[in-house]
Amino acid sequence: MPKVKRSRKPPPDGWELIEPTLDELDQKMREAETEPHEGKRKVESLWPIFRLHHQRSRYIFDLFYKRKAISRELYEYCIKEGYADKNLIAKWKKQGYENLCCLRCIQTRDTNFGTNCICRVPKSKLEVGALATAREKDLRMGSVGVESRKRGTPVLTPEGNVVMSFSFESYQLEEEDSQVKDIPDKGVLAFTEPTFEDPEPEDRYHGIYFAMLLAGVGFLLPYNSFITDVDYLHNKFEGSSIVFDMSLTYILVALVAVILNNVLVERLSLHTRITVGYLFALGPLLFVSVCDVWLEQFPKQQAYVINLVAVGVVAFGCTVQQSSFYGYTGMLPKRYTQGVMTGESTAGVIISLSRIFTKLLIQDDKKNTIIFFFVSIGIELMCFILHLLVRRTHFVRYHTSRAKQGLNEMNGHTNPMTGYRVHHNPISEEVRFFFLYFKENGPAGISPSEVMTEAEFAGSGTYVRFDVPKPKIRRSWPSFRDMILHRYVVSRVIWTYMLSIAVTYFITLCLFPGLESEIRNKTLGEWLPILIMAIFNMSDFVGKILAALPYDWNGSRLLLFSCIRVVFIPLFVMCIYPSGKPALTHPAWPCVFSLLMGISNGYFGSVPMILAAGKVSPEQRELAGNTMTVSYMTGLMLGSAVAYFAYSLTATHTYFEKVNTSVTSGY
């Protein structure tokens, strides 16, 4: 096999994506050609060369004909430059030759007695047990293909009925101890048995779905508890912007937390992050309810600061939970992501109803607020305990293990990861990540590159370049460059969904809870903002239930409808300004607007998150979920910042109006 020599003509676009893989295969070909032949049969030394030749041709064939990831111009360039075998690919395009391993299989004139290669023996000539014998002896280079995953079956070809489901694709060159395996010393191609997965477990009685719904309740309930008792806050901190300050504090801390969680997604286990999040959420909620609301141990200014600090700590814990749960449910079927997002709205509904009933049944503001906080703490504890139970169920362990099948265990220990690469298919919007691991206890005298094993992801068939570290150097964490690359490639696939969810929550946070809490009415008084928030939470809950309806949204259409929601901003402004005499004075107007905004927020805030996870391969859905959460939190932060800025301007304007009035009244 001569070394591929590239022409001086610059390669077409897309060459830089496949060049590392082809260079790696070319290097392996050089190593196979210079491998010592002592102690081997003449034909045996050619097996690895034929395997690599097949692998390189199959890689280019799959990219163009199956995955449609490269252009025809680039494909023809690879054929012309000799990177792929034109004649072998021509055979693959014919019926019956789809899994042909090499041209020698059908060129009978190349053999002494006009016979076929072992992977091309007519079934009529095979003796009983011949396939089993091939697994035990050093008989050529066949194994069950990655794509078929089944035993050899005869198909009709010009040569007759022959076994055709053998290929090189799942082969590995291995050195094994000859005392354990009855095979020659080196360079023997091992036969890989097909693997069969356990049947997918069922979610009986929808218990897992209900648990995921409560998980969504758990990570938004603490913050909702702080802002929904708006009447208590207005009475205790009269004339202050406490609701705006809480909202902005929550969003700023949450954005930092979600970015940090996105960085630590490969470094800390999923359930460790979730558990820490629950503890950070429960602590401040318990502290404020006992020390501030019940015992009143702090003066007004200190209580103001303590409430903001408590909201910040809650924001950190709940956001780590939220981001982790989106990655968690991304590894489960789609409906469970919808369940978590429905739980977010359920938290608002539960808290709104809790506040309404405690205020109706108990007249004393201090007592009803204490009971309100204790109800929230009890629900949060229940969500935490349920999470600890659900994570151990067979259903959850089955799906999470499938998504993380690259993290194999050998000899009871997880293999340290040595590097991984990304394959992005811009046509089918598919992303695949490939991992490499060292065996913990490789055979003596074998270099790390020889004991390296490649994780095969279902339906992959793509050959990707891997970075192999130097001997005795092990790295359990991916490099910073790889982490950035993976997030960049995932973002290229789901960017419309990222923008859609960011715009949706940006518009919502411009109005809720800050601006809505400022709406007043002489008849309803402080009850009006409580009712408006309750209507929003309930309609948001309905919207997230509607998100479960089977409709395949296009990313650009989702983004368009999310942008249309901007009409709610002037409508709500008309319910407040001019101050004292708003354009829309009747309390029904803000209630109707809140209803419509809640439904649209629930729907267009859930659908992008649900669909985005399906655009990447299962093993990287946790990363996609975390990336979507970053966009979600970015929208929240920008919306809160705009709302706070608008409030500060209007507050200043109101202050100057009062000053002017007092001055003019003095004359």
Three-state SS at 433: strand
Query: Is 222:281 a contact under the CB 8 Å cutoff?
Result: yes
d(CA 331, CA 324): 11
Both 14 and 78 in a single domain?
Answer: yes
Give the per-residue pLDDT at 600: 94
Residues whose CB falls within 8 Å of the CB of residue 356, separated by 6 or more in sequence, listed in order? 530, 534
Residue 164: inside a domain, yes or no?
Answer: yes
Give the per-residue pLDDT at 148: 37
Residue 303: inside a domain, yes or no?
Answer: yes
Give the per-residue pLDDT at 227: 84
Residue 199: inside a domain, yes or no?
Answer: no
Residues whose CB falls within 8 Å of the CB of residue 562, separated by 6 or more in sequence, listed in order? 499, 500, 501, 503, 504, 507, 604
d(CA 609, CA 544): 11
Q: Which of 630, 649, 638, 498 is nearest to 573 (CA)?
A: 649
Query: Is 308:314 a contact under the CB 8 Å cutoff?
Result: no
- Say which CATH number the domain at 367 has: 1.20.1250.20
Residue 149: inside a domain, yes or no?
Answer: yes
Three-state SS at 469: coil
d(CA 227, CA 246): 8
Among residues 30, 63, 93, the one where a domain terminates is: 93
Both 528 and 474 in a single domain?
Answer: no
Both 374 and 387 in a single domain?
Answer: yes
Phi, psi of 56 (to 5 degrees): -65, -45
Both 627 and 494 in a single domain?
Answer: yes
Domain that holds residue 46: 1-93
User: Which pair of structure tokens corresponds to residue 14?
Assistant: 């897309």
pLDDT digit string, tens, across residues 322-344: 878 877 887 888 788 888 888 88
Give the per-residue pLDDT at 5: 58
Both 331 and 249 in a single domain?
Answer: yes
Q: Which of 88, 332, 305 is nearest to 200 (CA)?
A: 332
Query: Is 313:280 a contact under the CB 8 Å cutoff?
Result: yes
Residue 665: inside a domain, yes or no?
Answer: no
Q: Indicate if the alpha-carbon torsion angle 460, 466, 471, 472 is positive or negative.
A: negative
Give the per-residue pLDDT at 29: 85
Both 496 and 633 in a single domain?
Answer: yes
Residues whose CB falls within 8 Å of the CB of residue 573, separated by 6 or more in sequence, listed in order? 515
Give the per-residue pLDDT at 526: 72
Residue 540: inside a domain, yes or no?
Answer: yes
Both 241 and 341 in a single domain?
Answer: yes
Both 323 and 299 in a single domain?
Answer: yes
Give the per-residue pLDDT at 254: 84
DSSP label at 167? E
DSSP label at 434? E
What does the angle CA 551 – CA 556 – CA 557 come to, to the nearest 5 degrees?
A: 50
Helix axes 15-33, 47-61, angle to 10 degrees: 170
Question: By CB neighbour count within 10 A (0-12 exposed, 13-18 middle, 19+ buried), where does 611 fall?
Answer: buried
Q: Which residues of the chain, if any, have pLDDT below 50?
A: 118-122, 125-197, 406-475, 652-667
Q: Which of 593, 402, 452 is nearest to 515 (CA)?
A: 593
Both 445 and 565 in a single domain?
Answer: no
Query: Is 286:352 a contact under the CB 8 Å cutoff?
Result: no
Question: By CB neighbour count within 10 A (0-12 exposed, 13-18 middle, 19+ buried), where does 468 fall?
Answer: middle
CA dihedral angle for residue 129, residue 134, residue 137, residue 142, rounded to 10 degrees: -170
Among residues 162, 192, 222, the one where a domain terminates is: 192
Both 525 and 501 in a single domain?
Answer: yes
Among residues 438, 455, 479, the one where a domain terminates is: 479
Question: By CB neighbour count within 10 A (0-12 exposed, 13-18 middle, 19+ buried), where does 368 fall?
Answer: buried
Query: Is 634:502 a contact under the CB 8 Å cutoff?
Result: yes
Q: Which of 510, 522, 517, 515 is nearest to 534 (CA)?
A: 517
Strands (E), 148-201: 154-157, 160-163, 166-167
Query: Is 319:355 a contact under the CB 8 Å cutoff?
Result: no
Give the count of domains, the chain: 4
What does the angle CA 411 – CA 417 – CA 423 come to, to the nearest 5 degrees?
A: 125
Give the per-residue pLDDT at 108: 66
Residue 290, number of CB atoms within 10 A of its CB:
15
User: Which pair of structure tokens corresponds to residue 317?
Assistant: 């814990």
Residue 197: inside a domain, yes or no?
Answer: no
Both 431 and 548 in a single domain?
Answer: no
Both 158 and 229 in a single domain?
Answer: no
Give the per-residue pLDDT at 309: 94
User: What's at 569, amino acid-wise?
Assistant: I
130, 154, 163, 191 from 123: Cα distances, Å? 10, 7, 6, 20
Core vs surface per residue 99-131: b (16+ CB within 10 A) or e: bbbbbbbbeeeeeeeeebbbbbbeeeebeeeeb
Question: By CB neighbour count within 10 A (0-12 exposed, 13-18 middle, 19+ buried), where does 563 fall?
Answer: middle
Give the per-residue pLDDT at 500: 95
Residue 241, number of CB atoms within 10 A of its CB:
17
225, 257, 271, 324, 380 from 277: Cα distances, Å? 16, 10, 10, 9, 12
User: Across the chain, how many H-helices and E-strands are there?
Assistant: 20, 9
